[in-house]
């Protein structure tokens, strides 16, 4: 059985949070869920057992509440067939709001939420665990993370514009054209982009195309059609990127990751 409930977020959070979802999965086959790279950062508060995570950097940990930065390899969540918690997909601006610095400081790793917000993380976990009903839990999360919090970090406007251009094109805009539009050389644009987000524009574009491919594959679209729609040269190119980012092929992902859901704001998500 799987339950997913997505919160209706207040408009003021639109620059910071793409989605806030409550989830409860029971009765699945024990195994490992693949947390694939995305262009959002993942914040999870577990409501039962701690999240048993092998991060994209290979570090293992068990977390009651954690944040995963942008990454270009799979994170692995080991589970006994049950998962219960709250997940936020944060924009880089949302991560910077909590961090007080660029989202790139979290790139490639996963950390306890208390490193970002202090003792409030433990209090949030305890209050969520004691609360009943998704709406009350969502309200607790929004209040704990975003009430009375002011942005102390802003990226250079050119970097923010470059990110939006890549995002708007779902990773298909040429990197040199983006650099030209913001008025920088490709090399300087890449340096500034990595400082802000922790990875290069090229890697980010590949991640964005991969995320779009997951969404379409989750809809049951044929792989050759997905490859063409997402800007891959062919289906083999699609498979190579999946091996890089997920450590598996799309076909194996669909058949072997029993709690896999498309990591996209248009639908429910599993912890990633």
pLDDT at 258: 76
Per-residue three-class SS string for the chain:
CEEEEECCCCHHHCCCEEEEEEEEECCCCCEEEEECCCCCEEEEEECCCCEEEECCCCCEEEECEEEECCCCCCEEEEECCCEEEEEEEECHHHHHHHHCCCHHHHCCCEEECHHHHCCHHHHHHHHHHHCCCHHHHHHHHHHHHHCCCCCCCCCCHHHHHHHHHHHHCCCCCCHHHHHHHHCCCHHHHHHHHHHHHCCCHHHHHHHHHHHHHHHHHHCCCCHHHHHHHCCCCCHHHHHHHHHHHHCCCHHHHHHHCCCCCCCCCCCCCCCC
CA 210 to chain centre: 12
Give the largest CA-CA distance in the chain. Answer: 54
For residue 255, what pLDDT is reported?
Answer: 83
Per-residue confidence (pLDDT) for residue 100, from 0 to 100: 94
* Predicted pLDDT at 261: 53
Name the percent of the chain lying above pLDDT 70.
96
The torsion region of residue 161 among left (phi > 0), alpha (psi -120 to 50) and beta comes to alpha
Residues of the chain with pLDDT under 70: 261-272
pLDDT at 271: 40
Q: CA–CA separation, 134 vs 47, rounded Å?
A: 12
Q: What is the pLDDT of residue 267?
A: 39
pLDDT of residue 264: 36
pLDDT per residue as tens digits for the range 64-76:
999 999 999 999 9
Task: Please name the residues in contact with 59: beta carbons below 8 A apart, sequence gap of 6 or more.
Answer: 109, 110
> pLDDT digit string (tens) for 126-149?
999 999 999 999 999 999 999 988
Question: Residue 167: which residues within 8 A CB-CB, separation 6 or more?
Answer: 39, 208
Give the pLDDT confidence score for residue 263 in this predicted structure.
Answer: 34
Query: What pLDDT shows up at residue 260?
Result: 72
């Amino acid at each position: 059985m799987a339950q997913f409930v997505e919160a209706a977020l207040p408009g003021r959070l639109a620059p910071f949070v793409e989605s806030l979802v409550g989830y409860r999965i029971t009765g699945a086959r024990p195994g490992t869920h693949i947390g694939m790279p995305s262009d959002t950062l993942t914040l999870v508060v577990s409501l039962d057992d701690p999240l048993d995570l092998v991060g994209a950097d290979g570090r293992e940990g068990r977390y009651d509440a954690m944040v995963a930065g942008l990454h270009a390899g799979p994170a692995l969540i080991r589970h006994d067939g049950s998962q219960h918690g709250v997940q936020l997909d944060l924009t880089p601006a949302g991560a910077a709001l909590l961090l007080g610095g660029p989202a790139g400081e979290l790139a490639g790793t996963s950390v306890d939420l208390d490193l970002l917000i202090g003792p409030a993380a433990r209090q949030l976990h305890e209050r969520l665990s004691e609360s009943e009903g998704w709406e009350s839990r969502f309200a607790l999360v929004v209040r704990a993370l975003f009430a009375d919090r002011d942005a102390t970090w802003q990226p250079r406007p050119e970097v923010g514009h470059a990110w939006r251009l890549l995002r708007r094109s779902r990773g298909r805009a040429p990197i040199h054209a983006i650099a030209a539009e913001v008025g920088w050389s490709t090399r300087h644009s890449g340096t500034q982009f990595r400082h802000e987000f922790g990875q290069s524009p090229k890697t980010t574009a590949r991640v964005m195309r991969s995320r779009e491919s997951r969404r379409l594959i989750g809809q049951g679209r044929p792989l050759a059609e997905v490859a063409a729609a997402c800007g891959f040269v062919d289906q083999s190119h699609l498979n190579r990127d999946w091996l890089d980012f997920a450590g598996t092929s799309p076909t194996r992902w669909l058949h072997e990751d029993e709690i896999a859901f498309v990591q996209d704001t248009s639908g429910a998500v599993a912890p990633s």
